[in-house]
Amino acid sequence: MKVTSTLAGYVRLLLAGNPTTGDLCMLVAAILSAIASGVPFPLIGIFFGELLNDFNEASCAEDASSGSLTDEEADAYQGDVNDKILMIVYLAIAQFVLIYAHLTCWALYGSRLAQRLRERYLQRLLRQEPSFFDKLPPGEVASRLSADIQTIRSGTSEKVGICLSSVAFFVTAYIVAFIKNHELAAMLISLIPAYFLMSFVGSHYIEKFSGLVAEHAGTAASIASEALSNVVVVQAFGANNRLEKKFADALDAGKRAGLKKALAVGIQSGVMYFIAYSANGLAFWQGSRDIAKVAEHGHGGASVGATFTVIFILIEGELSQPKAFQELEY
């Protein structure tokens, strides 16, 4: 329920401020292009695997014949390789265009949303009674119009596109992997709980310490602002040393929270990459066993290219999912 309500609230935020038809079209284009941008890379992995198969088959054929390939065989082999390389280039161009499109659309939509929220907030403020402004703390309106709106813009712009693209990449990678080698893909899918656990636990502490850093920085800024605004009173009562100590204590607490945040980031990243590369080694070991069985019995579905494709796209897919959620949390 909490996740559902959070997603519903996020959708309401994206549609806040009465967006125009052009804004809605831009939002739809941003979502579709972000999802589509996650598809080309797993497809590129398929062609990488097929190229590896071609190289392997050509080498084996040359060794078996104890000589070079005939001109016709060489031309056919080169033509097949050229076709696959062209497909890789086309997919890379498509991915470039889609990434550029979704990043641009999300950046523009985030800016438009921030502009609409600022206008609506100012309109509502100007309709309030004069007594309403007497209750506001100093700098409240400026903080809402600048810092808070900027935070909303940061959470509704390029990061959303990166998250959608990573999820699409993750799903496409597993579809391709199960088609190519379902046994190896099923073995690597067991890594998902470990990634999610490390991602969410690490992100919890990172978010916690980030909040403490911001809180202590705000406290220090408030102390400095009040002291400078009432510098005559501060000097008259000799409160310089006491305010300096409070200011230094706030900064020191922020520094300690920042160090804890950096430690949490380092541990999270280190453990995630350790799992990824350990899984990489395990997958190559299992893939080599499958290929050895094929070589021994002379039949089977495993190949060097299929094994490489599964390992290549799944390790990248596993790493993309936690990063996507980190983008939204930061």
Distance CA 114, CA 146 (A): 10
The CA-based diameter of the chain, rounded to the nearest angstrom, is 99
Distance CA 14, CA 276 (A): 34
159 token code pair: 């990061």
CB atoms within 10 A of CB 221: 13
142 token code pair: 């400026």
pLDDT of residue 92: 93
Distance of CA 189 to the CA centre of its chain: 20
Block mean pLDDT (10 aa), the chain, length 330: 71 80 89 92 89 77 58 76 91 94 90 84 79 67 69 78 86 88 81 77 84 83 79 77 85 89 87 81 81 70 79 72 51
pLDDT of residue 40: 92
Q: What is the pLDDT of residues 93-128, one digit of tens each?
A: 999 999 999 999 998 988 888 888 888 877 887 787
Contact 291, 303 (CB under 8 A): yes
Residues with Cβ < 8 Å from 53, sequence gap 6 or more? 303, 304, 305, 306
Which of 311, 313, 303 has the alpha carbon at shortest distance from 40?
A: 313
pLDDT of residue 68: 62
